[in-house]
Structure 1
Amino acid sequence: MFQTLLIANRGEIACRVAATARRLGVRTVAVYSDADAGARHVHACDEAVHLGPAPARESYLRADAIIAAARRTGAQAVHPGYGFLSENAGFAQACADAGLVFVGPPPSAIAAMGSKSAAKTLMAKAGVPLVPGYHGDDQDPARLRAEADAIGYPVLIKASAGGGGKGMRIVTAAGEFAAALASCQREASASFGDDHVLIERYVQKPRHIEVQVFADTHGNAVYLFERDCSVQRRHQKVIEEAPAPGMTAERRRAMGEAAVAAARAVGYVGAGTVEFIVEPGGQFYFMEMNTRLQVEHPVTEMICGQDLVEWQLRVAAGAPLPLGQEDLVIQGHAIEARLYAENPDTGFLPSVGTLTHLRLPPHVTFQVGADARGEPAAVRVDSGVGAGDTITPHYDPMIAKLIVWGADRDQARTRLHDALAATEVAGVHTNVTFLTRLMTDEAFAAADLDTGLIERRRETLLPPVAPASPAVLALAAAARLARRPATGTDPWDVADRWRVGGPAAESLAFLDGGAVRTVTVHSGHAAQIAVGDTPVDWRWSLREPVDGARLALAVRLADHETTGIVLETPDGLVVWHDGRRHVLELPRADGAVAEGHAGSLTAPMPGRILAVHVAAGDTVAAGQALMVMEAMKMEHTITAAADGEIAEVCFAPGDPVSEGAELLRMTDAAA
């Protein structure tokens, strides 16, 4: 085993590798950028080396700086994690040339699978089923359009060097092809430095099922069963589970053997994932191979009881695989939810900012293996950030992975629902409420899965933002009253507006989505509260001792009791109730309500303008594309909210923009 390991990554995967390495007695070295000097992974390692500025291309993507850091610290091996340089054949070769062990497959295997087009040619020779499509080198738009026409719509355009859902577009009609191709190529070039694409038949209602494979330098190769990753947004995974619901033993064996054949075809070593598209009837097709560990590997660890990072390190050190295929068995069911800093109500746009509050459910961290009862932990959390850390526009906005295990799928799903309900995040938007809805959605509960599930269930999973309920407002009112200062034990010192001669009424105002909501509290012998015109009997109490700005409250309204958490912030209150998060602002002292720029469209996050489709004086219709901006390596189209006329365009292609910057000004057609 190595004495010192350099981890060429950041976030939760760097923390996870450090935890396993420490257990094996291996010293670890972290690398970091200007944005990560105080990050959790830096403190998780024994030593840390600064790489450069925050942008990844100036730090985490600098192979020369990483290799120099390994040499300076005496590391014998480099673990690339996932993302950044983990699937870069040139980096793997540079490590080998520098006398360093790259914890992953040989450069030739990475190169073979790095091009989706070349990989599909190899898979065809190995007998692995392929989706009908065009994987050629001729990238003339006319040729690509002709191939799409021949395949038949809908088709899928995919970046050949892509991954993570970037550089991918579904085209449903010939007239949409040119614009989709241009957008796909721009995103592919920005994300991977390669605008080469392939065209495939778009499989209707497909499931995304991937197989975890492992191979060593002694000729052994196994599959550690499969994961269902069908629940996706923007072609990126949201929920992963293992084993795949409804998988028969025969199909599991067929897919597993096909995955091993794919690995053997390229002389694979280490951990890899072979991804398949599966039709409703069960026919599966090779999609791509990720030549690294995947974000969702913990669900495989939970059902197999194996530490896949330990397997990686042992194989890289020259040891044979710890187990053979016949030794691997499935125990129970595991589900992972990716907790993202993003806003589902705005198309899942990433949200940047400081995590002013982060409280996770009771859990273990990075733990693999059984407890005293012989079962995996019920809840595991893998995270690379903590309260006070900042989600920046430079890196992936994932906050944590919540991984649960159950004896069966229903128990795992219930445990994940409860874990999400106990998750509190403030300072950024998150997808917690969306994930909570997903766990109770009837289609997900019935395992009626496909990659279009979120869009298919949009009405229930992404309903319009609703006003805060009376229970939420009552919790907010109770929090305000609980904070009321008392200067002594004398009842005359208590500032609760009690008065001699009868009950008194006090009005508490909150801003709920910009609307003023008033809660009237009546004090006296029978305390009452009114949200609107009708008062009801109420009482409240603290469920836990006050924890800084956080209050755990119980409120009884008439004959119904409910509980919730209220967090005080400089601008107001954050209320967690019934698995949902509500933000209530407090009116300014002068009673005014802050207003935005009427008729303006603003940047949802920091980024760069890629294209401008309109000019001042143009008449536009609601929903029309006005601008395209790039943020967090993804393209985001800015559309008109209503019919109108463009009064001013504030930025040009190539211009950087900050969050909240005014992009365009419009006049309303109705006005």
Structure 2
Amino acid sequence: MFRKILIANRGEIACRVAATARRLGVKTVAVYSEADAQARHVQACDEAVLIGGPAPKDSYLQWQRIIDAAKATGAEAVHPGYGFLSENEEFAQACTAHGLVFIGPSASAIQAMGLKAESKRLMEAAGVPLVPGYHGADQDPALLKAEAVRIGFPVLIKASAGGGGKGMRAVYSADEFDAALASCKREAINSFGDDAVLIERYVQRPRHIEIQVFGDSQGNCVYLFERDCSVQRRHQKVLEEAPAPGMTAERRAQMGGAAVAAAKAVGYVGAGTVEFICEQDGRFYFMEMNTRLQVEHPVTEAITGQDLVEWQLRVASGEPLPLQQDELRMHGHAIEARICAENPEAGFLPATGALNVARWPAHVAFERGPVRIDAGVGEGDAISPFYDSMVAKLIVWGEDREQALARLDASLRDTHIVGLQTNVAFLRRCAATASFATADLDTALIERERAALFEQPGLPLQISAAAVVAHTLAAEAQSQDADPWSRRDGWRLFGASARRFDLEVAGQRHAVLLSRHHQGGMQLSIDGGEALAFAVNSSSLEQHELLLGSGLAQQRVRVNSYADGETVAVFAPQGSAYLTEIDALAHAGDGAAEAGRLTAPMPGKLVSFLAAVGDKVSKGQPLAVMEAMKMEHTINAPKDGVVAELLFAVGDQIGDGAELLRLEA
């Protein structure tokens, strides 16, 4: 076993590797950028080395600096994590050339499987089923379009060197092809430094099922069963589970055998994932092989009881696989939810900001258990625009899928994040859809269940408004003096008092009236509606038990509330809500319309303007393309008009809410 390894990555995977290494008695070295000096992975390792600026191209993609750091600190091996340089054959080769063990497959295996077109040819020779498509080296746009027509629409354009949904577009007609190809190539060159693409038939209602494989230097190779990763947005995974629902033992053996054949075709050593696209009738086709550990590896660990990072370290140090195929067993069911900083209601636009509150359900860290949280950030940390939008992974395990689903819902309910937008509520709705609950799975599940997933009312106003009132009263109770004449809660010696709260929820304002009687009774009314009996028991500033109504209509609700500036975030079993307490004097000048402004919906880099000064544009017409967190986003015209001024240059870094251009009527 190694004495010291360097982890060439950041975030939760770096923390994950550090935790396993520590358990095995292996010292670890972290690398970090100027944006990550206080990051959790830096704290998790024994040593840390600064390698450059915040942008990945200035730090985590600078492999020579990483190798220099490994040699300077006496590391014997480099663990690449996933993303960044994990599938870069030049980096793997350089590690070997400098006497460092690359904890992963050989450079030749990475190269063979890293280029999708080349890997398709290898798999065809190995007898692994393939989706009909074009995987050639000729990248002439006219030829690519002709091949798409030959294959038949819809087709999928995929970056040959890509992964994670980047450089990938579904195209439904020849008219859409040219624009989609150009966008794919731009995204591919930015993400992977290679704009080559391949074209494949777009399988209808496909399931995305992947097989975890592991090989050692003695020639052994096994598969550790499968994961279903069908629930996706923008070709990126949202929920993953193991084993795949409905998988028969016969089909599992067929797919596992095909995955092992794929790995053996390139002499694979280490952890890898062979991904298949599957028809609803069970037919499966090789899609790609990821020559690294996957983000969703914890669900495999949960059902097998194996630590895959430990397997990586042991195999890389020359040991044989810890278990052979006939010794592997699986038990129970596991589901992983990717908690991301993004706004599902706005097309999953990435979000940035500080984690002012980050409260997790009761869990273990990086170990097998009923609830596990893998996170590289915590309360007080910030999500920057430089890296992936994932905040944490929530993994749950149960004796069966039904128990795992129940634990997933309870754990998402108890996950409270305040300070930036996340997809936690969306994940909870997604897991509760009829399609997911009954395992009616395919990659279009989110679109198919759109009505149940988007623009939902959320937490009832009656509960959320009562929670804000309870929070305010609790805050005042904590700060007030014992002197009754200094109290600010509306206390009167005789008679009743009334107090108004102006709240804004989802752009709508509401007037909430709290009536208090000297006997201690309280009532709430919203927007002049029927008054409800109101009682509150606050065990702290953040936890309240509300009692609303009376008699048979009485409702008892436990809620959590957190203040973030003027906003109060409310979490309850029924859902969550974000309400703003309006100070009328402080906002006296608000509301003036700023006609003609078009602003950036998130921080990022300006890729291109699609209109010039003087152009007439129509509502909905694409005007600009921005890149944030490795993905492209198109900004459309909010109304008809004429472009009066472009306020940035292509390549500029732009802040959230910055005005991009001006439109005139």
TM-score, normalized by the shorter chain, greater than 0.5: yes
Q: Which whole-Å CA distance do the structure 1 matches of 2:219 and 2:537 have between them? A: 62
Q: Is the 8 A contact 2:543 2:558 kept in 1?
A: no
Secondary structure of 2:247 counterpart: coil
Q: Is the 8 A contact 1:599 1:665 kept in 2?
A: yes
Aligned partner of 1:518 among 498, 511, 514: 511
Amino acid at match of 2:646: V
Q: Which whole-Å CA distance do the structure 1 matches of 2:576 and 2:20 have between them? A: 35
Amino acid at match of 2:426: F
Cα distance per residue 1:470-527 (max 9 Å; x no partner): 1101111111122224755454543322334422211011222343221100111442
Q: Which whole-Å CA distance do the structure 1 matches of 2:121 and 2:389 have between them? A: 35
Q: Is 1:540 paired with 2:535?
A: yes
Secondary structure of 1:455 counterpart: helix
Q: 1:383 is matched with which residue?
A: 375
Task: Please identify, of 69-78 and 299-308, the stretch whose mean Cα deviation from structure 2 is larger.
Answer: 69-78
Aligned partner of 1:399 among 391, 394, 409: 391
Query: Where do 1:413-562 residues align within 5 Å?
Result: 413-463=405-455, 469-485=461-477, 487-489=480-482, 491-524=484-517, 525=519, 526-546=521-541, 550-558=542-550, 559-562=554-557
Q: Is the 8 A contact 2:459 2:574 kept in 1?
A: no
Q: Is the 8 A contact 1:468 1:512 kept in 2?
A: no
Task: Please identify, of 437-446 and 563-572, the stretch whose mean Cα deviation from structure 2 is larger.
Answer: 563-572
Cα distance per residue 1:410-469 (max 9 Å; x no partner): 110110111010011111100001001112111110111111111111111112666961
Secondary structure of 1:289 counterpart: strand
Secondary structure of 1:36 counterpart: coil
Cα distance per residue 1:86-142 (max 9 Å; x no partner): 001111110101111110001110010010000000000000000000000110000
Q: 1:229 is matched with which residue?
A: 229
Any unmatched runs of 5+ in structure 1?
A: 369-376
Q: Which whole-Å CA distance do the structure 2 matches of 1:629 and 1:155 have between them? A: 25
Q: Is the 8 A contact 1:420 1:579 kept in 2?
A: no
Q: Is 1:640 paired with 2:633?
A: no
| Structure 1 position 555, deviation (Å) | 3.7
Any unmatched runs of 5+ in structure 2?
A: none
Q: 1:118 to 1:351 in 2, by over 3 A?
A: same
Q: 2:621 is matched with which residue?
A: 624
Task: Please identify, of 137-146 and 581-590, the stretch whose mean Cα deviation from structure 2 is larger.
Answer: 581-590
Q: Is the 8 A contact 1:551 1:567 kept in 2?
A: no
Q: Which whole-Å CA distance do the structure 1 matches of 2:308 and 2:329 have between them? A: 15
| Structure 1 position 345, deviation (Å) | 1.1
Secondary structure of 1:366 counterpart: coil
Query: Where do 1:316-335 residues align within 5 Å?
Result: 316-335=316-335
Q: 1:466 to 1:212 in 2, by over 3 A?
A: closer
Q: Which whole-Å CA distance do the structure 1 matches of 2:598 and 2:459 have between them? A: 24
| Structure 1 position 623, deviation (Å) | 2.3
Q: Is the 8 A contact 2:474 2:540 kept in 1?
A: no
Q: 1:350 is matched with which residue?
A: 350
Q: Is 1:215 paired with 2:215?
A: yes
Q: Is 1:654 paired with 2:662?
A: no
Q: Is 1:34 paired with 2:34?
A: yes
Q: 1:579 to 1:79 in 2, by over 3 A?
A: farther
Amino acid at match of 2:472: R
Secondary structure of 2:17 counterpart: helix
Q: Which whole-Å CA distance do the structure 2 matches of 1:504 and 1:188 have between them? A: 64
Q: 1:202 is matched with which residue?
A: 202
Q: Which whole-Å CA distance do the structure 2 matches of 1:36 and 1:73 have between them? A: 19
Task: Please identify, of 317-326 and 516-525, the stretch whose mean Cα deviation from structure 2 is larger.
Answer: 516-525
Q: Is the 8 A contact 1:522 1:528 kept in 2?
A: yes
Amino acid at match of 2:488: A
Amino acid at match of 2:416: E
Cα distance per residue 1:2-21 (max 9 Å; x no partner): 00011111110111111101
- Identity among equivalent positions (%) equals 58
Q: Is the 8 A contact 1:542 1:554 kept in 2?
A: yes
Secondary structure of 1:37 counterpart: coil
Q: Which whole-Å CA distance do the structure 1 matches of 2:239 and 2:589 have between them? A: 39
Q: 1:607 to 1:537 in 2, by over 3 A?
A: closer
Tell me the C-alpha RMSD between the 2 structures: 1.7
Amino acid at match of 2:445: L
Task: Please identify, of 293-302 and 42-51, the stretch whose mean Cα deviation from structure 2 is larger.
Answer: 42-51
Q: Is the 8 A contact 2:522 2:535 kept in 1?
A: no
Q: Is 1:137 paired with 2:137?
A: yes
Query: Where do 1:241-256 residues align within 5 Å?
Result: 241-256=241-256
- Residue-pair matches, total: 657
Q: Which whole-Å CA distance do the structure 2 matches of 1:593 and 1:422 have between them? A: 38
Secondary structure of 2:329 counterpart: coil
Secondary structure of 1:54 counterpart: coil
Q: Which whole-Å CA distance do the structure 1 matches of 2:280 and 2:615 have between them? A: 46
Q: Is the 8 A contact 1:339 1:400 kept in 2?
A: yes
| TM-score normalized by the length of structure 2 | 0.96
Secondary structure of 1:471 counterpart: helix
Q: Is the 8 A contact 2:459 2:576 kept in 1?
A: no
Q: Which whole-Å CA distance do the structure 2 matches of 1:579 and 1:143 have between them? A: 54
Q: Is the 8 A contact 2:155 2:200 kept in 1?
A: yes
Q: Which whole-Å CA distance do the structure 1 matches of 2:130 and 2:13 have between them? A: 31
| TM-score normalized by the length of structure 1 | 0.95
Task: Please identify, of 197-206 and 624-633, the stretch whose mean Cα deviation from structure 2 is larger.
Answer: 624-633
Q: 1:373 is matched with which residue?
A: none
